[in-house]
Structure 1
Amino acid sequence: MKRTILLLLCATSFSTYGQVGIGTTAPQETLHLGANTSTIRIEGLDEINNPLNSGPTRLTPVFVTESGNFTLQPAGYTSGGTGYVLPLNFLADTPNFIPNNPLGLAAPFDRYGVVINSDLTNESTTGLIQTVTINVPTNSMVEVKYAISLYFSGTNLAVPPHSTFITDGKTRVIQSYFCVDIDSDGLSPAELAQMYGVKGQYYASDAGGTRGYPNMNSQGYVNLPAGSHTLYFFGVVNDPPNTFTSIGFGGANDYLKIRLFN
């Protein structure tokens, strides 16, 4: 009887060319778990058997050694010490995350980005620059790091002549920040009031004025639950009374990097 079972196992192994299937009769890999609810448990990595397991409230990162072994211990790890770096879990690493020409202007006026104006009747104007949706796999602290290029003009960049020097010698203050729409169900008043990664820069013109692309860099941290969340990036233009200021956000080089720590 034992001999019959052994022969049967050998025959199965040869018929699948060394591939083993669990829950499938047609394995496609060396080990193939069938069914869309398949799971794997390694008890040597659980919270009872492994002190590096983060427990029931947080997921624990699993590392792969040069030999292909699964482990919870990073390379260079010293118990009770430091000297190792956990892998960076990037949710986004996006260059040029703001459109260069959302207004559809013809060249050479096609790199102003999102235009926000503070006209003669306003001393501060806030506008939406961009939205980005992220999917967070588990409760995590999320870092959002971004850089936005700026284009200054004393007249509306959206209409001819599209760009003029600012030469009045008065100071402008430009700001950016982001808000988080939890569960991507629309920004509530409370979410809109919570501003992350606030950054400001000022520009004081001289007789020669300015045009060009200075950059504004910022980062912010927020604790988020698992799920789909939308980040709203805003720009703010502040200027003195009775002045007109037009700022193009993101017309040149900009980037967005989002990573999570869990």
Structure 2
Amino acid sequence: MILLDIMKKLYIMPLIILLNFSLHAQVSGVGIETSNPQQKLHIASPTGTIRVDGLNSTNNVYNGGEADQTYPVYVDFNGDLTLKTSAYQNSDGGDAFSTGAINGTVSIIPIVQTDDGYETVEINSYTFTVSRNTILEVKYSISIEVFQDNLFTIIKDPYARNITNFFTIDTPTLLPTTRRYAPSSKCYFNRNDAATNPAALPDAATGFIYNSGTSYLMLTPGTHTLRFYGTVCSGTNNRATFVRFAGGPDSIFLRLY
């Protein structure tokens, strides 16, 4: 009988020790230089770091390899660490806004009510759905060309034109917003006065000018539409103006956090 009790204790004691160790591991996690880990993995050393060979310059094409440089680490949908940047929309060197999609041109017609020669056109839009509260990062660069008419005649009068680009966001819980995000403007001006010297060649340079902007927006769950616009003001004299948006290489970058 005594021998049986001793054998029972010998079986029970390792079981209790194993159970305590298992419970401690499940609750506390793994500690490095600590006996009381506060997370599943806890490095307690004040100089402790983590090295992942799969992210170094030898094994990862997204690591630039410079000895004195650092690179941001992201987490993908599987929870894997990665150096690769993933965006909702990224032109990445390509042309973001197709001129064919917007016909490439905006003819400026004076608005009688305001008498300021002001016009607005929607250039492009992006619609997407999010399932949680998130932050949307937006970066854009849109090309602009300014002419006197749709024959691409260079402006020779001495009046300035203001060209602005911006975007708006429609939310699922509010009416379409009129707030303008990341507005950017350029002023076109040609000193050559056609009234006093009509035979003179225009002294304005031809080519693309750009408006660029960046903004961050808080989004709630639901479907959102991002709309890009261009506006032109030809002044109170309503001077003839013809603007082509997105005729050159344009860029767009949208990322959800």
Return the alpha-carbon distance in structure 2 between the equivalents of residues 117 and 257 of structure 1. Answer: 29
Alignment of 1:149-228 (within 5 A): 149-155=143-149, 157=150, 162-183=151-172, 188-189=175-176, 191=177, 193-207=178-192, 208=202, 209-228=204-223
The change in CA–CA distance for 1:86 and 1:224 in structure 2 (over 3 A counts) is farther
Post-superposition offset of 1:172: 0.9
Return the alpha-carbon distance in structure 2 between the equivalents of residues 226 and 103 of structure 1. Answer: 30
The equivalent of 2:248 in structure 1 is 252
- Indicate the structure (1 or 2) with the bigger Cα radius of gyration: 2
Post-superposition offset of 1:137: 5.0
Return the alpha-carbon distance in structure 2 between the equivalents of residues 98 and 84 of structure 1. Answer: 29
Identity across the alignment (%): 25
Aligned length, in residue pairs: 176
Of 235, 245, 256, 1:240 maps to: 235
The answer to whether the 8 Å contact 2:105/2:242 transfers is no
For the residue of structure 1 that corresponds to 2:88, the secondary structure is strand
Return the alpha-carbon distance in structure 2 between the equivalents of residues 116 and 143 of structure 1. Answer: 31
The root-mean-square deviation of aligned C-alpha atoms, in Å, is 3.3
Question: What TM-score do you get using the length of structure 2 for normalisation?
Answer: 0.58
The answer to whether the 8 Å contact 1:116/1:237 transfers is no
Q: Which runs of 5+ in 2 are unaligned?
A: 1-27, 30-37, 43-50, 56-62, 64-69, 75-84, 193-201
The change in CA–CA distance for 1:49 and 1:206 in structure 2 (over 3 A counts) is same
The answer to whether the 8 Å contact 2:168/2:180 transfers is yes
The equivalent of 1:16 in structure 2 is none
Return the alpha-carbon distance in structure 2 between the equivalents of residues 259 and 145 of structure 1. Answer: 9
The equivalent of 1:71 in structure 2 is none
For the residue of structure 2 that corresponds to 1:90, the secondary structure is coil
Return the alpha-carbon distance in structure 2 between the equivalents of residues 128 and 100 of structure 1. Answer: 12
Post-superposition offset of 1:227: 3.4
The change in CA–CA distance for 1:230 and 1:66 in structure 2 (over 3 A counts) is farther
Alignment of 1:26-175 (within 5 A): 49=39, 65-66=52-53, 85-87=72-74, 88-94=85-91, 95-102=94-101, 113-119=104-110, 121=112, 122-155=116-149, 157=150, 162-175=151-164
The answer to whether the 8 Å contact 1:169/1:206 transfers is yes
Cα deviation, 1:197-241, whole Å, max 9, x if unaligned, reads 111111111212453211211112110123332101111101122
Post-superposition offset of 1:139: 1.6
The equivalent of 2:82 in structure 1 is none
Q: Which amino acid aligns with 1:197?
A: A
Q: Which amino acid aligns with 2:217?
A: V
Q: Which runs of 5+ in 1 are unaligned?
A: 1-42, 53-63, 69-74, 76-82, 105-112
